[in-house]
Each structure stands twice: as structure tokens, then as C-alpha cells.
Chains A and B, each alone.
Chain A
Amino acid sequence: MTTTFREAIRAGMREALEGDPRVFLMGEDVGRYGGAFAVSMGLLEEFGPERVRDAPLSESAFVGAGIGAALAGMRPIVEVMTINFSMLALDQIVNNAATLRYMSGGQFSVPLVVRMTVGAGRQLACQHAHSLEAWYAHVPGIKAVAPATVADARAMVLAALEDPDPVFIFENAILYPLEGELEDGGLPLYRAAVRRAGTDVTLATYGGSVGKALEAAEQLAAEGVEAEVIDLRSLRPLDMDTVLESIAKTHRVVVVDEGWRTGSLAGEIGMQIAERGFDLLDWPPQRICSVEVPMPYAKHLEDAAIPNAERIVATVREMAI
């Protein structure tokens, strides 16, 4: 069945709400408004205000309440409007959600799912459009995933709810209108996927950049270069085996990551490649990240700040294939 990324997330949440009385959705404007990005539109009418719970602008309290409710047997899905807003809940996330299992010696776990939008491309400027998911992926005790396909948009919600630990789902907002097949490929949550097979260069990326990598791969194919596109899917834990298997074939790799370059996930992935796959490489690993500026508003400046297919193609052309 063909649907949109937005509707697929809603379908996943609807299935969860129908199937498990412990599941509820909580966040800013998830109910009556229908979600800031219309992801939860209609769920209030189906499930009522207890289970599709509008929370006021109290990110720390409602994310913390998600943690507490998870401790007491519920399966909350907490929606935070954007990753920039999630900074207001960072204490609850890093100091509580990520640590409670460890600091209690394994007595408590926090089966919490937190969803939030990330990414630029909609001219939302300096406080709504960043890709800070690497910060979350840095933290032991939480898991971080990023759907790039319609099928994953649904499947990741359901799989995340099965996990006994806190799972963060990062939704690149440019993907919401994306159309595709809803059916789940059945891939485990924390495994990477090969979205396009190729032999000459590996493009490893996730979320909103997967489509850009696929677009670049098509352009490169016209030039006789076959790129393999890896959708990482999970940012913590990272499925480096899949990346390294690809590099064993291609011997070249470009990591595409919408986060800033310094301290980026791309940096982490590149280092793991250096540690484990140095001998596989015929060319230094490359990365394409966002330019190190707060996200500008003007369209031409924003376009210049984030990765795109042209930058990927230009980078690959320099790699002596």
C-alpha cells in the first residue's frame, strides 16, 4: 500500500494504541491541533484525550513524565516538536532516562519512545532546523534511530515500543510528504539497510540525506560510477558491519550527515572505519556535513549550508575511481 511518511508514522502509532492499552501519545499539540506537523491528526478522535494527551510547553516536565510513566508500567510515546526544543528536556533525557537502569543496578528500565523532528530545508532558521541527533547518539543508555523510508516510518515506531529501553526517533521533517510502500521489510531496528547496490563507492548516510545520496548515485551511474547507498537507520547502536561489508567491496566511502562536521556522527563512523577497515580503503574516507553555521533563513544560504546531491557527486568525482 502506498502512503506518505507522515501517515506511516500515524499508522504505526495507531496500531500501537489499538494493540496495547499501555501505549499513549503525549506532547505539544499532539491532540486537538493534530500535531505540529500533522503526524497525529485524527488520533485524538480515535483514542481520546487521555491517550492522545496534549501537554503544555513544559518539555522537561512532559519528557520526565514519560520517563516516570514508563517506570510505572506504561509505554509512552512522547513527541517533542523539534530537536531544538528537546534541549529543554536534555536533563531528563541524559541524566534520568539514560542513567536510571545503570544507576539502579538494573532494577529499573525506561521503555520510553521519544519522537522529534530534525533537519533543515524548510527555511525555519536558527532555532528549528538543526540536526543534533549526534548528541543523543553520544549517550550510553539510550538508542537513536532515524527512518528514511515510509516503511521504516511505521515499523520503527512499533519496534521502538518493543524495546525495554529509551528509544529516540529522529524524523527529518522534509520526509513527511514522501510517498512509498507501507509494508515493513522486516529488518531488525538496529540494522543498516543497503538501499542501492553498487561496486565503486559506498555512500553511508541516514534520515533526510538518504534520498540525496540515492539521487547522487543516479547521477554518478550516468558517469559510469556505481555507488552503494547504505541507510544506517540506527545511529546508536551503529551497524558498522554492514558499512564495512560494503567498503570491502567498494574500497571507497563517503559519509553524509546533516549534522555539523566537528564532533559529528560522520566523524565517529569515519574513525570506526579507520579502526576496523583501514586495509580495505583505496582512498581516504570522506564526509559531507552541514557547514558550521547556525542554520540560515534565506533559501540560497540554507541550501548552501546542508548536504545535497551535487556536493556528494563532486566529492565522489575527486576520489579517483
Chain B
Amino acid sequence: MSPARTKVAPALEREHILLLLREMLRIRRFEEKAAELYSLAKIRGFLHLYIGEEAVAVGAMQSLREDDRIVATYRDHGHALARGLPMGALMAEMYGKTTGCSGGRGGSMHFFDASRRFYGGYAIVGGGLPVALGLALADAMQGNPLVTACFFGDGAVVEGEFHETMNLAALWHLPLLFLYENNLYAMGTAIERSQAQLDMELRARGYGVPAEVVDGMDVLAVEKAVRRGVEAVRGGGGPHLVELKTYRFRAHSLADPDLYRTKEEVEQWRTTRDPIDLFVAQQQIDEATLGELEAAVNAELDEAVAFAEAGPWEPVETLEEHVTTPVAP
């Protein structure tokens, strides 16, 4: 048990541990189901799975408040689920149904939920960073004690947007938390082949942004590091960066033959660094408890699929709705 949490009553502690595990399992099973439904052509387009990275989204969301703002990437299922977007609305979105969280206009890469301050999945790598900068700027200008948390990957850190945003967030001292989800590959390009300097702490320091590097497969470590970051940002410390070192167990998308890394490498990660397995072992979760959690997750998932199946198609007559705001004639 982490020393930082020893003040919490043991029962509450246990409850929290199970919550983290349940949240990771929700993502894992959701993604497995999504892959299955993709092969059945229920889901189309690009599908980027979060399997292997569950501890990142789940750990990171714990210290973010309901009114904080979240900006995600196109690999957004885990972020959305951990943020509390209803599983059914996400599944329905991937079906392209009117009951989807973006009304069937976004799909897998563009989950949105205004009521949960989930500002969307951005599918231009690095494209969410300037938007997050603006959200944080608005809060700073309005005196809102809020944090904007922006997820981005190792592909984004070689985009100009990352550097422009880091510079401006630091220059303007904005309440922006950079959550660097480093899964070692930008699609098929390993970080060694795309980044001249792999030390993100050093790079962030170059912009005057404090950074912390953490094992993204350890949900408690993620939770603690992000909590420190959130507290620093909310406390007026300006932008912070947390690097979450992780790995995606599946291909970049279901269209990816995964030829750029060895099967052994993937297998090594899967068998020794699975965030759920690690957590179950670390926390000594017994079979019965795990079984109960799995059953609850499966029930939720069945319900989500049923919700997606049952949802109506958006009428084609509405094709042009939401391009611009309707104005009274």
C-alpha cells in the first residue's frame, strides 16, 4: 500500500482499489467487445484500441474534478470511460447511432460530452493541445480554479503544436496539465526513430514546465503523480507535465498489420507488464472478487451493446444539422 494513502481508512482504501480495478476492466472489456463488433462490421472507420494503457486514463482521472476540462486524443475510449461517459452512448456512437455521444457524427475518434466537460477526441495528432491551451486561458482570465487536462501521445511531441503550446502555457502561466501518454510508437514509428531527445523531463524543463515521469502501467503511481500535477496546477503553479510510460498491446488500429515491432516484444509487455494483472497481483485481489467485478462489467457491456443496437439511426434529413448554429429567421 502506498505510504501517501495510509491515512485513509482501510475500508475506503479497499473500495478505492476496487474502483480502480473496475474502471480498468471496463475499458479492457469494452475494447475487446469493440474489436469483436468491428470484425462483425457493426463498427467501421478507424478503431484505435486502448488495451494495455488502461492504468493511464483511470489513474489520471481520479484527481480531476467534475468541472475540470478534459481534452483527449483519437484513442479516446479509455479517456471517455474513465471520465464517466456512459458506455452505451460510446458504443452507440461507434455504431453511428443517433443515441451516440456525438450523435453519430464523430465515431470512435471523436467522443464528446459537454455535460462531463469532455472536449473531445482529436484525430489530428497534436491538434487538441492548442484547444486545451485556450480552455486554460479562458479559466485563467475568468478566475476559475479549474484544471484543463490534455492527453497527447509520443507522436504529438514532435509536432509544432506541442512546442507552441508548451511555450505559451508556461509564458502565460496557465492551469494546463500536460498528460504525455508515451506508448513508444507513433503509429508504426518508434520514438527512437522520431525523437532526437527522449528525456521529456529535460525537454519540459527547457520550457520551464515542471515534469514528472511515471510508470504508466502502475495505476496507483499514475494516480499519485497526476494528483501532484493537478494540485500544483490548481494551486497556481502554472502548467505541469506528467509523462506516463505505457504500451499498447494491440495494433495502432484494426487496419494495422503491426509489422514494425516483434511479436516477442509485444508478448513480453503483455505477459509481464499488463496493468490489470499487475494491479490484481499487487493488491492480492481474490478470484471471487475479480469474478464479481467481471460479472458487473460484462452486464454493463451487454447493456451498452443492447443500447447501441436498439438506438435509432439519425434521419438523413438531419445530415446538415449542427454545421452551424440555427438562427431564428
Residues of chain A at the chain B interface (Cβ within 8 Å): 24, 50, 55-56, 58, 60-74, 76, 91-92, 95-96, 100-109, 140-141, 143, 163-165
B138, CB-defined interface residue at 8 Å: yes
B171, CB-defined interface residue at 8 Å: yes
Q: For chain B residues 126-160, which have a beta carbon within 8 Å of chain A? A: 127, 129-139, 141-142, 148, 160
Chain B residues with Cβ under 8 A from A165's Cβ? 324-325
Q: For chain B residues 305-321, which have a beta carbon within 8 Å of chain A? A: 321
B95, CB-defined interface residue at 8 Å: no
B-side interface residues, number (CB < 8 Å): 43
B296 to chain A, nearest CB (A): 29
**Which of B113-121, B189-197, B198-206 is the interface stretch?**
B113-121
B323, CB-defined interface residue at 8 Å: yes
Known: A69-B138, A141-B323. A96 touches B133 (CB 8 A): no
Q: Mark B233-271, 1 if CB is under 8 A from A, else 0.
A: 000000000000000000000000000000000000000
- The reply to whether B325 and A69 form a contact with Cβ atoms under 8 Å apart is no
Chain A residues with Cβ under 8 A from B119's Cβ? 68, 71, 108
- The reply to whether A71 and B323 form a contact with Cβ atoms under 8 Å apart is no
**Which of B42-50, B99-107, B220-228, B287-295 is the interface stretch?**
B99-107
- The reply to whether A92 and B112 form a contact with Cβ atoms under 8 Å apart is no
Chain A residues with Cβ under 8 A from B160's Cβ? 60
- The reply to whether B137 and A65 form a contact with Cβ atoms under 8 Å apart is yes
A51 to chain B, nearest CB (A): 8
- The reply to whether B130 and A102 form a contact with Cβ atoms under 8 Å apart is no
One of B120, B129, B148, B324 near A103 (C-beta < 8 A): B120
10 smallest beta-carbon distances between A and B, as pairs: A68-B134, A64-B130, A105-B103, A61-B164, A72-B138, A104-B112, A65-B134, A58-B164, A106-B322, A107-B114
- Bound form: Cα–Cα A88–B136 in Å: 22
One of A55, A74, A91, A104 near B114 (C-beta < 8 A): A104
B62, CB-defined interface residue at 8 Å: no
- Most chain A Cβ neighbours within 10 Å, of B120, B168, B322: B322
A47 to chain B, nearest CB (A): 12
- Bound form: Cα–Cα A176–B209 in Å: 41
11 contacts between A and B (CB under 8 A): A61-B167, A65-B134, A65-B168, A68-B119, A68-B130, A68-B148, A72-B138, A91-B124, A96-B122, A96-B124, A101-B323
Residues of chain B at the chain A interface (Cβ within 8 Å): 69, 100-106, 110, 112-114, 119-120, 122, 124, 127, 129-139, 141-142, 148, 160-161, 164-165, 167-168, 171, 321-325
- The reply to whether A69 and B167 form a contact with Cβ atoms under 8 Å apart is no
- Bound form: Cα–Cα A65–B127 in Å: 11
Chain A residues with Cβ under 8 A from B148's Cβ? 68
One of A65, A67, A71, A73 near B142 (C-beta < 8 A): A73
With A102-B322, A104-B110 given, name 15 new contacts (CB 8 A). Answer: A61-B164, A65-B134, A68-B138, A69-B135, A71-B134, A72-B134, A72-B139, A102-B105, A103-B105, A103-B106, A105-B101, A105-B103, A140-B323, A140-B324, A165-B324
- Bound form: Cα–Cα A141–B325 in Å: 9
Chain B residues with Cβ under 8 A from A105's Cβ? 100-106, 112, 322
- Bound form: Cα–Cα A58–B165 in Å: 8
Chain B residues with Cβ under 8 A from A140's Cβ? 323-324
B282 to chain A, nearest CB (A): 38
- The reply to whether B168 and A74 form a contact with Cβ atoms under 8 Å apart is no
A144 to chain B, nearest CB (A): 12
Chain A residues with Cβ under 8 A from B132's Cβ? 68
- The reply to whether B112 and A68 form a contact with Cβ atoms under 8 Å apart is no
- The reply to whether B324 and A65 form a contact with Cβ atoms under 8 Å apart is no
A296 to chain B, nearest CB (A): 30
- The reply to whether B110 and A61 form a contact with Cβ atoms under 8 Å apart is no
- The reply to whether A96 and B325 form a contact with Cβ atoms under 8 Å apart is no
- The reply to whether A106 and B138 form a contact with Cβ atoms under 8 Å apart is no
- The reply to whether A58 and B127 form a contact with Cβ atoms under 8 Å apart is no
- The reply to whether B142 and A74 form a contact with Cβ atoms under 8 Å apart is yes
- The reply to whether B102 and A104 form a contact with Cβ atoms under 8 Å apart is yes
- Bound form: Cα–Cα A109–B105 in Å: 15
One of B103, B133, B171, B325 near A109 (C-beta < 8 A): B325
- Bound form: Cα–Cα A96–B113 in Å: 16
- Bound form: Cα–Cα A109–B326 in Å: 11
Chain B residues with Cβ under 8 A from A68's Cβ? 119, 130-138, 148
- Most chain B Cβ neighbours within 10 Å, of A55, A105, A107: A105
Chain B residues with Cβ under 8 A from A67's Cβ? 130-131, 134
Chain A residues with Cβ under 8 A from B142's Cβ? 72-74
- The reply to whether B134 and A64 form a contact with Cβ atoms under 8 Å apart is yes
- The reply to whether A103 and B164 form a contact with Cβ atoms under 8 Å apart is no
- The reply to whether A104 and B127 form a contact with Cβ atoms under 8 Å apart is no
- Most chain B Cβ neighbours within 10 Å, of A60, A72, A102, A108: A72
- The reply to whether B164 and A108 form a contact with Cβ atoms under 8 Å apart is no
Chain A residues with Cβ under 8 A from B139's Cβ? 72
B153 to chain A, nearest CB (A): 17
Chain A, Cβ-Cβ closest to B106: A103
- Bound form: Cα–Cα A92–B133 in Å: 12
Known: A65-B133, A101-B323, A101-B325. A72 touches B69 (CB 8 A): yes
- Bound form: Cα–Cα A105–B129 in Å: 21
One of B104, B127, B167, B322 near A91 (C-beta < 8 A): B127
A96 to chain B, nearest CB (A): 6
- Bound form: Cα–Cα A100–B134 in Å: 14
